[in-house]
Amino acid sequence: MDRTKRPILWTTVAAVVVLVAVGLYLFQPWRLFTSNRVDEAAPVATDQRQVATEPLATGSFVSHEHETSGSVEVQPLTDGKANLRLTDLRTSDGPALHVWLSDQPVEQDGGGNLDDGDHLDLGDLKGNEGNQNYAIPAGTDLDRFSTVTIWCERFSVSFGAAELRQST
């Protein structure tokens, strides 16, 4: 090979390696084929007042960027706190997935609006399948935050969302 072309070849190879590494880090394509199942028990009352029998709100997931199903329930606890329970959740695994409460409505054809207003981040999604609990801080206005979403922070998209319907 001509000596003048070697530096160009090595520079090109190095650039391709860097681009592939960055692409793998950002997109994490192997997560399309992985699954993380979580099966947490529902909160157990330590006294009679801790967990009420009737949920404050319920809902079912609709799919947005990825097929998502399951149900949500807001369970009242003592001291104004509440628990968000995801039951029979099934969605894709992905990078930087969080559980949010949002003040935006659920749209059937996409969830791009869910970060337009205010949201409350309840933490990292514990697993893309199963049953899991998330603490809702005391004083959270559930009339205002009426949507639960599985939000991908890396790509600013909703995997799926559920409208919280207040119990009567």
Check whether residue 49 and residue 69 sit in a common domain.
yes
Q: Are residues 14 and 51 in the same domain?
A: no
Per-residue model confidence as pLDDT tens digits over 2-43: 666 778 888 888 888 888 878 777 777 766 677 889 999 988
Total number of domains constituting the chain: 2
Are 62 and 135 contained in the same domain? yes
Residue 48 confidence (pLDDT) above 70: no
- Nearest residue to 63 via CA among 165, 166, 157, 142: 157
Our measurement of the distance from residue 131's CA atom to the centroid of its chain's CA atoms, rounded to an integer in Å, reads: 13
Residues 99-127 have pLDDT tens digits of 999 999 999 888 888 999 999 999 999 99
Residues 79 and 128 in one domain: yes
Query: Does the pLDDT of residue 50 top 50, yes or no?
Result: no
How far apart CA 64 and CA 159 sit, in angstroms, is 5
Q: What is the CATH number of the domain that holds 123?
A: 2.60.40.200
Q: Of 58, 80, 53, nearest to 135 (Cα)?
A: 80
Decide: helix, strand or coil at residue 149: strand
Task: Tell me: do 3 and 83 sit in the same domain.
Answer: no
152 is in which domain, residue-wise? 37-166
- Residue 93 contacts residue 31 (beta carbons within 8 Å): yes
Q: Which residue has the higher pLDDT, 155 or 47?
A: 155
Q: Checking phi first, is residue 133 left (phi over 0); if not, alpha (psi -120 to 50) or beta?
A: beta
Do residues 31 and 128 make contact, with C-beta atoms less than 8 angstroms apart?
A: no
Rounded to 10 degrees, the C-alpha dihedral 134/135/139/141 comes to: 10
Confidence category of residue 45, pLDDT binned at 50, 70, 90: low
- pLDDT, position 35: 82
Tell whether 27 and 42 lie within a shared domain: no
Q: Does pTM surpass 0.85? A: no
